[in-house]
Chains A and B, each alone.
Chain A
Amino acid sequence: QQPVQSPQAVILREGEDAVINCSSSKALYSVHWYRQKHGEAPVFLMILLKGGEQKGHEKISASFNEKKQQSSLYLTASQLSYSGTYFCGTAPQNRDDKIIFGKGTRLHILP
């Protein structure tokens, strides 16, 4: 079942913060976050496996709620290089190898 991402698109000025959400109607096994720039392959950002988990990578961090149905990606003090489309991929509890992606969130950073 495809996860729901929100918002669909965001426009920010450099230095502003953004939050991208990913939700499922059922408990998940894992959540994967990727960024894709136009004409390129998706690039891995983060994977979350445990309920209540929070992870950080420089100014990009993510959380996975206790029920394992929702994840959020946090982009702090955004940089021009953060522009792109962000995808969350989710694996269900009963099939942890079957990774389905949301439709993506387009992020555009203005100078």
Chain B
Amino acid sequence: DAGITQSPRHKVTETGTPVTLRCHQTENHRYMYWYRQDPGHGLRLIHYSYGVKDTDKGEVSDGYSVSRSKTEDFLLTLESATSSQTSVYFCAIRERDQPQHFGDGTRLSIL
């Protein structure tokens, strides 16, 4: 299995609070991705990274920011969480022309 770890695995927080999710890899893969998954919407791309300090927006980036200061870590931040951001968040890693490998997901509930 690809070495990819998401933390935390579960989180419950209140509207308006900041939240940071972490994706850590031990594979030295260039590309890292953050998706959210909601019923009826499949996997939607939030942000992705194509190298250290190189990131780009996905389909649903509003309300989210990311940072990648080193190859192994990709952080997703909700500056002020809203109930609409309650979701399951998946991180994925890959090399060019290779498949994505997904982490186990983070279940985030915003009350």
* Residue B74 CB within 8 A of the other chain: no
CB-defined contacts of A100 to chain B, threshold 8 Å = 45, 58-59
**A87–B103 Cα gap in the complex (Å)?**
16
For the complex, is B70 an interface residue (Cβ under 8 Å from A)?
no
B45 engages A44 (CB within 8 Å): no
Mask of A18-41 contacts with B, CB within 8 angstroms, 1/0 = 000000000000101010000011
Please classify the interface of chain A as helix (H, G, I), strand (E, B), loop, or mixed, using the class held by over half of its residues: loop
Taking a contact as CB atoms under 8 Å apart, the answer to whether B43 and A42 are in contact is yes
Instruction: Give the segment of A59-67, A76-84, A91-99 that binds chain B.
Output: A91-99
| Contact of A98 with B56 at beta-carbon distance under 8 Å, contacts A87-B42, A103-B41 already known | yes
How many positions in chain B have a CB within 8 Å of any CB in the partner chain?
Answer: 25
Is B97 part of the binding interface, using a Cβ–Cβ cutoff of 8 Å?
A: yes
Contacts of B103 in A (CB 8 A): 41
Q: Is B109 in contact with chain A by the CB < 8 A criterion?
A: no
List, sorted by A's number, 16 A–B pairs whose CB atoms are closer than 8 Å.
Answer: A32-B100, A40-B104, A41-B105, A42-B43, A47-B99, A87-B42, A87-B43, A96-B96, A96-B97, A97-B31, A97-B50, A98-B56, A100-B59, A102-B42, A103-B40, A103-B41
